[in-house]
Amino acid sequence: MGRTIRIFDTTLRDGEQSPGCSMNLNEKIEVAKQLEAMHVDIIEAGFAIASPGDAAAISAIAQHVQDSVVCSLARCAEKDIDAAYHAIKRANAARIHVFLATSPLHMQYKLGMTPEQVLESIAHHVAYAKQYMADIEFSAEDACRSDKDFLCRTFETAIRAGATTLNIPDTVGYMAPEEYAALVRYVTEHTEGIERAVLSCHCHNDLGMAAANSLAGVEAGIGQIECTINGIGERAGNAAMEECVMALHVRRDHYNADCKIDTKQIYRASRLIQTITGVPAAPTKPIIGANAFAHESGIHQHGVLANKETYEIMTPESVGIPQNSIVLGKHSGRHAFEDRLRELGYTLSPEEIDRVFAKFKLLADKKKSIKDRDLEALVGAVPVSGEERYKLLDFVINSGNSITSTAVIRIQYGEETRERVAASDGPINAAFRAINKIVGQDIVLEDYALKAMTDGEDAQGEAIVKISPEEGGPIVTGRGVAVDVIEASIKAYINGINKLMMEL
């Protein structure tokens, strides 16, 4: 039995910082619940000082999460540490994550501080955080471009002030794996008191080596990996959790280490992030990409049919990818439906089951057989527990290659039914214009994408829109799923508007 590596997930902090990946309060809670369900050790829920919205989300997560440690980031500033503490103080287990840059470049140009001032600031602020709680992490930002001996001095200072986890971030994704491992060994050998702390890695993916560097860190003695679902994060992203976790799992023999993550929850977590952010994973993305378990060439197919292990080093089931078996039809009852969702790893509240089951019945009228992927699409299509101020009732579209497209849309808004007509060059734009008239705003469509969620002629289409208010402001993601792609698009637009209303 080897070492158990802690998994520190920063999807809700570093991940959420990446363009197009912002999430609202309900979405963040939903993600935190999923991270807890997959047994993440530490959830970095955000950066409390960044905005009141961030602080409120961290605080809500701290109250929802029971088993994982909930963490907030803080710069070396008392007001940051106070904000972090107040956001996480109700968590069962909490951590403050204090950071300060230690490379000559960052100290001179970003902080305008001398190395001595940096050491003083670390000593003061780690001790300041320590009066709030026992579990304190210190990160030396841009550690990999820092002077190695100075880095060790910063860590000694942090340990003396009470830090229990020391993080060696490759902030700019600059390292090669052997180099990163050598740095970890150097720090281990040259930092007094290091045996009192857990070493952590936090690798960015600018050269595509984030997961490789993190795993090299494990080989060199790292005890915690910082990562994100789907590898989202600043610039080229962070180390992808699914890659690090599955490498540890599949190659336990090599790493002599594993972690507590329930690997069967990986696919669900990945889908949840794609659904919420509207940022799709590349088909070739390891572990969770659409092609990760697809065998195209004849030789490969032949091999896999004879014995899966010829071309598969892990099974799709081991990461929770639903198998495309026909499971339900229009005569299936609520029990069978609920059972199958449970088998797929979904634990929904009775109200959520009611909502999804109603949608299932509508879908079953349109599709002969409902497969696991359809169920997955249906669950994902139910708006993450939030207010649905506007609800689509009906629509009629008139379109053709030689006429102007027109759309009539009827929407329920509270007790009221609103109906508007609009025309445009294309049917989807006409529908969006009619909806704009209903809500009385010229909502701006920033991005729009459509894809088939399932296979076959009666596949469900998924539409993703990114919209913002006409006067500028947050860009939100809306998602809609339906067999009819125009319906999916209209639902996505309305879903986006409902989210926008919650933000404003």
- Within 8 A by CB and 6+ apart from 286, the residues are 240, 242, 243, 246, 292
Q: Which does 383 bind (CB under 5 to 8 A by kind): Zn ion, ligand KIV, none?
A: none
Pattern of binders to ligand KIV over 169-208, x per CB under 6 A?
A: x-x------------------------------x-x----
In the bound state with ligand KIV, the residue whose beta carbon lies nearer, of 204 and 371, is 204
Q: Is 435 in contact with 478 (CB distance < 8 Å)?
A: no
Q: By C-beta, is 226 or 462 nearer to Zn ion?
A: 226
Regarding 170 and contact with Zn ion (CB under 5 A), the answer is no
Count of other CB atoms within 10 angstroms of residue 368: 10
Give the nearer residue to Zn ion in terms of CB position, either 14 or 30. 14
Q: For 89-141, where are the alpha helices, taking DSSP H only?
A: 104-105, 115-130
Among 27, 41, 135, 141, binds ligand KIV (CB under 6 A): 141
- Residue 99 contact partner, candidates Zn ion, ligand KIV, none, CB within 5 to 8 A by sort of partner: ligand KIV
Write the interaction track for Zn ion spanning residues 10-39; mark x where CB under 5 A is met and - where it is not.
----x-------------------------
In whole angstroms, what is the distance from residue 468 CA to residue 160 CA? 48
Q: Pick between residue 14 and residue 36 the one whose CB is nearest to Zn ion.
A: 14
Q: What's the CA gap between 27 and 388, in Å, rounded? A: 14
The reply on whether position 41 binds Zn ion by CB under 5 A is no
Q: Which DSSP state fits 229?
A: G
Q: Which residues contact 417 (CB under 8 A, 6 or more apart)?
A: 393, 410, 411
How far from 482 is each of 198, 307, 380, 381, CA to CA, in Å?
A: 48, 37, 12, 9
139 binds, among ligand KIV, Zn ion, none (CB under 5 to 8 A by kind): ligand KIV
Per partner kind, with CB cut-offs from 5 to 8 A, the member of Zn ion, ligand KIV, none near residue 237 is none
Q: Which parts of 343-372 interact with Zn ion (CB under 5 A)?
A: none
| Residues in Cβ contact with 125 at an 8 Å cutoff, skipping those fewer than 6 apart | 74, 76, 77, 78, 81, 98, 100
Residue 130 touches which of Zn ion, ligand KIV, none (Cβ within 5-8 Å per kind): none
DSSP state, residue 6: E
* Measured distance CA(198)–CA(187) in Å, rounded: 12
State which of positions 25-54 bind ligand KIV (CB under 6 A): none
- Residue closer to ligand KIV by CB (options 171, 454) is 171
Q: Structure tokens of 403?
A: 């006429």
Q: Which does 372 bind (CB under 5 to 8 A by kind): Zn ion, ligand KIV, none?
A: none
* Residue from 29, 84, 85, 99 in contact with ligand KIV (CB under 6 A): 99
130 binds ligand KIV (CB under 6 A): no
Smaller CB distance to Zn ion: residue 10 or 436? 10
Pick 14 or 242: Cβ nearer Zn ion: 14
Buried b (16+ CB within 10 A) or exposed e, 237-257: bbbbbbbbbbbbbeeeeebeb
Question: Of 14 and 156, which has the nearer Cβ to Zn ion?
Answer: 14
Does 14 interact with ligand KIV (rule: CB under 6 A)?
yes
Which range in 166-174, 214-222, 340-348, 424-432 contacts ligand KIV by CB under 6 A? 166-174
Max Cα–Cα distance, the chain, nearest Å: 78
Member of 102, 139, 263, 275 binding ligand KIV (CB under 6 A): 139
Which of 165-173, 271-279, 422-430, 476-484 is the region at the interface with ligand KIV (rule: CB under 6 A)? 165-173
Per-residue tokens: 322: 């639903």
Shortest spacing between CB 205 and ligand KIV, in angstroms: 11
CB of 169 to Zn ion, least distance (A): 6
- CB neighbours of 116 closer than 8 A, spacing ≥ 6? none
Kindly state the tokens that stand for 137. 């992490």
DSSP one-letter string for 156-216: HHHHHHT-SEEEEEETTS---HHHHHHHHHHHHHH-TTGGGSEEEEEEB-TTS-HHHHHHH
Which chain residues interact with Zn ion by CB under 5 A? 14
Which chain residues interact with ligand KIV by CB under 6 A? 14, 99, 139, 141, 167, 169, 171, 202, 204
